[in-house]
């Protein structure tokens, strides 16, 4: 790519633009301007040889820190009497993120200092005040995250919940469980406490206390980076605000007469919510992916190759990818999609190795691949055939980390950020189903 082929100011290729979509528009503009300045500095270098320029931007998106690094190199080859002077430019862009509750305090302090130093139009006193505010916010999240490393006691939870359906963990280590029979959502803490956080009331109105609301067959659950709880109901998606006085509101509803029903919901660290809708017992195997943006907009994208029941897996991972478990004929696999619902590539499944460990994930037979979860290291966990949980590493290898008995059926999983504990909803043959905890070695 030559310098002449690159229009000034056009420094965000399509892939990075899509990755930055979950962040705010001001940050995207700042990234383009900062990388543009670095690129122009490269072009201004007129001497023969090599020139390198680096730049970065960092912002708080939701409760995560998102950083973009860019490096540009220009190569100028002088005329040798045979060929004319040649100029070539190349660049490398990288998007990364980190959670304050999982980042060492010295790194958070340096990050706050770095972010404040890049703010323009502020006096030294204003900039220092902003640095202190950022650092205080990050340190508060860091202290709360320590609870997420402790195992949760499930005895009291299993006494209260009659028909568990889906589970989700927040950054503080609280476990949320949807109860289909009592139409409630329960929260179990690492300290052993257990309480209803939504449902149990008689009203379907918005803006009321979450525990006064009447939930309609609660299924999928997700907690976003700000701590808001999202619930997939029979015909709509509800949001429960964080805090002790939580209220409930409706994010999206099914169209009148639509056969689609929300079954799974997931949220990323920037407040984007994704909902999987299916048509129960249909023959087409089609579905819809709803993208509920933080600005209130909604995008609904048709999907193919989805399972025609509630056992579908949907996950927004830490790289802002959307992962979906699908079927094609007799093969099950996990595919990666963009936030716009376009398939990127298959990351696991489609092979013939059933149950084998330490093999490439693309060679594995995932059978009835179902619900998924992830940890902070980027490992993907998914239910296979209802009786085992398999882990796909960032390097693309697959392992079995938990097994249920032949009489059990796993339908939902959650993993703590450290990847040391796995929680699963187990539909047993006993009088009540239950939530179980497994240790991951």
Q: Which residue has better confidence, 76 or 437?
A: 437
pLDDT at 10 exceeding the cut of 90: no
Residues 6+ apart with CB under 8 A from 44: none
| Angle CA 26–240–251, to nearest 5 | 60
What pLDDT score was predicted for residue 1? 32
What pLDDT score was predicted for residue 212? 95
Give pLDDT tens digits for 338-362. 776 677 789 999 888 878 899 999 9
What percent of the chain stands above pLDDT 90?
33
Regarding the domain with residue range 310-440, which homologous superfamily does it belong to in the CATH classification? TolB, C-terminal domain (2.120.10.30)
Q: Measuring CA to CA, which residue among 426, 430, 436, 429 is closest to residue 154? A: 436
Per-domain boundaries in the chain = 154-308, 310-440
The whole-chain average pLDDT of the chain stands at: 82
- Are 11 and 39 within 8 A, CB to CB? yes
Scanning 177-295, the segments in alpha helix (DSSP H) are: none
pLDDT grade for 39, boundaries at 50, 70 and 90? confident
Q: Radius of gyration of the chain from Cα atoms?
A: 24
* Pick from 44-58, 117-131, 180-194, 373-387: least confident: 44-58
What pLDDT score was predicted for residue 64? 66
Rounded average pLDDT over 307-324 = 77
pLDDT at 114 exceeding the cut of 70: yes
Same fold? 154-308, 310-440: yes
Give pLDDT tens digits for 198-245. 999 999 999 999 999 999 999 999 998 788 999 999 999 999 998 888
Among 131-145, 246-260, 276-290, the range with the most confident prediction by mean pLDDT is 246-260
Cα–Cα distance for residue pair 390/372, rounded to 1 Å: 10
Among 36-40, 301-305, 354-358, the range with the most confident prediction by mean pLDDT is 354-358
Place of tokens 């340096």: 110
Check residue 33 and report its DSSP letter: H
- Residues in the chain, total: 441
pLDDT at 409 exceeding the cut of 50: yes
* Strand ranges of the sheet holding 49-61, from the earlier edge strand across to the other edge: 49-61, 64-77, 86-98
What pLDDT score was predicted for residue 92? 80
Cα–Cα distance for residue pair 249/238, rounded to 1 Å: 6
What pLDDT score was predicted for residue 209? 96
What pLDDT score was predicted for residue 208? 96
What pLDDT score was predicted for residue 260? 87
pLDDT grade for 13, boundaries at 50, 70 and 90? low
pLDDT at 4 exceeding the cut of 70: no
* Pick from 183-197, 248-262, 278-292, 421-435: least confident: 278-292
Cα–Cα distance for residue pair 257/255, rounded to 1 Å: 6
pLDDT grade for 372, boundaries at 50, 70 and 90? very high
What pLDDT score was predicted for residue 5? 40
Q: Which residue has better confidence, 5 or 247?
A: 247
Among 122-131, 207-216, 407-416, 432-441, the range with the most confident prediction by mean pLDDT is 207-216
pLDDT grade for 283, boundaries at 50, 70 and 90? low
What pLDDT score was predicted for residue 301? 84
Scanning 152-292, the segments in alpha helix (DSSP H) are: 155-160
- pTM greater than 0.85: no
What percent of the chain stands above pLDDT 70?
85
pLDDT at 312 exceeding the cut of 80: no
Regarding the domain with residue range 154-308, which homologous superfamily does it belong to in the CATH classification? TolB, C-terminal domain (2.120.10.30)
Cα–Cα distance for residue pair 196/213, rounded to 1 Å: 11
How would you classify the pairing of strands 434-439 and 421-426?
antiparallel
pLDDT at 19 exceeding the cut of 70: no
């Amino acid at each position: 790519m030559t310098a002449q082929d690159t229009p000034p100011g056009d420094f965000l290729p399509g892939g990075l633009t899509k990755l930055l979509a979950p962040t705010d528009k001001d940050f995207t503009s700042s990234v383009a301007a900062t990388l543009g300045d670095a690129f122009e500095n490269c072009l201004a270098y007129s001497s023969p040889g090599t020139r390198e320029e680096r730049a970065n931007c960092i912002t708080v998106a939701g409760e995560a820190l998102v950083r973009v690094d860019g490096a540009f190199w220009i190569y100028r080859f002088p005329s040798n009497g045979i060929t004319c002077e040649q100029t070539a430019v190349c660049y490398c862009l990288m998007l990364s993120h980190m959670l304050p509750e999982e980042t060492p305090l010295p790194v958070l302090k340096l990050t706050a200092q770095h972010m404040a130093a890049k703010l323009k139009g502020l006096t030294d006193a204003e900039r220092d005040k902003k640095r202190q505010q950022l650092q205080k916010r990050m340190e508060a999240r860091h202290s709360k995250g320590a609870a997420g490393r402790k195992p949760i006691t499930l005895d009291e939870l299993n006494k209260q919940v009659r028909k568990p359906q889906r589970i989700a963990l927040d950054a503080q280590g609280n476990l949320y469980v949807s109860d289909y029979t009592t139409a409630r959502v329960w929260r179990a803490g690492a300290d052993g406490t257990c309480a209803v956080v939504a449902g149990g009331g008689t009203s379907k109105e918005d803006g009321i206390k979450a525990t006064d609301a009447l939930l309609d067959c609660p299924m999928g659950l997700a907690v976003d980076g700000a701590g808001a709880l999202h619930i997939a109901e029979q015909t709509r998606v509800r949001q429960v605000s964080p805090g002790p006085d939580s209220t409930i509101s409706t994010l999206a509803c099914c169209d009148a007469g639509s056969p689609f029903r929300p079954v799974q919901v997931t949220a990323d660290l920037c407040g984007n919510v994704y909902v999987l809708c299916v048509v129960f017992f249909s023959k087409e195997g089609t579905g819809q992916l709803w993208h509920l943006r933080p600005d209130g907009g909604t995008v609904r994208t048709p999907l193919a190759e989805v399972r025609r029941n509630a056992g579908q897996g949907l996950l927004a991972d830490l790289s802002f990818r959307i992962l979906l478990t699908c079927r094609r004929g007799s093969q099950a696999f996990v595919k990666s999609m963009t936030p716009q619902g376009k398939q990127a590539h298959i990351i696991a499944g489609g092979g013939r190795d059933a149950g084998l460990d330490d093999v490439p994930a693309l060679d594995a037979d995932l059978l009835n691949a179902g619900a998924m979860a992830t940890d902070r290291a980027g490992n993907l966990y998914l239910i296979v055939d209802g009786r085992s949980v398999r882990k796909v590493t960032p390097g693309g290898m697959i392992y079995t980390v938990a097994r249920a008995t032949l009489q059990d059926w796993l339908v939902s999983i959650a993993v703590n950020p450290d990847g040391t504990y796995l929680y699963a909803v187990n539909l047993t043959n006993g009088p009540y189903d239950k939530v179980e905890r497994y240790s991951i070695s």
